[in-house]
Amino acid sequence: MKTIKFLLLLVFLTSPIFIFSNFRPSANGSFGATVETEPERIRVLIDKPANSLLTVQVTDQDGWPLYASTLDKQQTSSPFTFNLNGLPDGQYQLRLSNGKRTKISQIQLVSTGNPADQRQVLIQPIN
């Protein structure tokens, strides 16, 4: 009988530690992001821990925002698709931030000499 009471007490005392460790947000603020290029658009696939916000922003070369959105705390993954068809050639930035960590990618739109060809979309991670 003492053994059962001791085991129940042990289970009761360790369960809050287990529950807290499984649901607390990541300490280092990490999130995953993959950027894919398609003709005249980019697709961003995001994977983040639950209970953390993530902002997605596309800016022009002068830093003016062209698009901004926030992935809420309940969402752990989401695809974003940006249509680049109406933008002129030039450099743009894709910025993903959760307040602790920021990932920036440089987007470059380049037209070829032939108007029948589609523009090239070049993406290079900065950090």
Q: Can you list the alpha helix ranges (DSSP code H) found in 29-120? A: none
- Answer whether residue 7 is part of any domain: no
Give domain status of residue 16, yes or no.
no
Predicted local distance difference test score (pLDDT) of residue 73: 82
Q: What is the pLDDT of residues 90-126, one digit of tens each?
A: 999 999 998 889 999 999 998 877 776 778 888 898 8
**Average pLDDT in the chain:** 78
What's the CA gap between 24 and 50, in Å, rounded? 9
pLDDT tens digits, 50-63:
788 889 999 999 99
Domain containing 47 equals 22-126
Domain total in the chain: 1
70 vs 10 pLDDT, higher one: 70
- pTM of the full predicted structure? 0.70
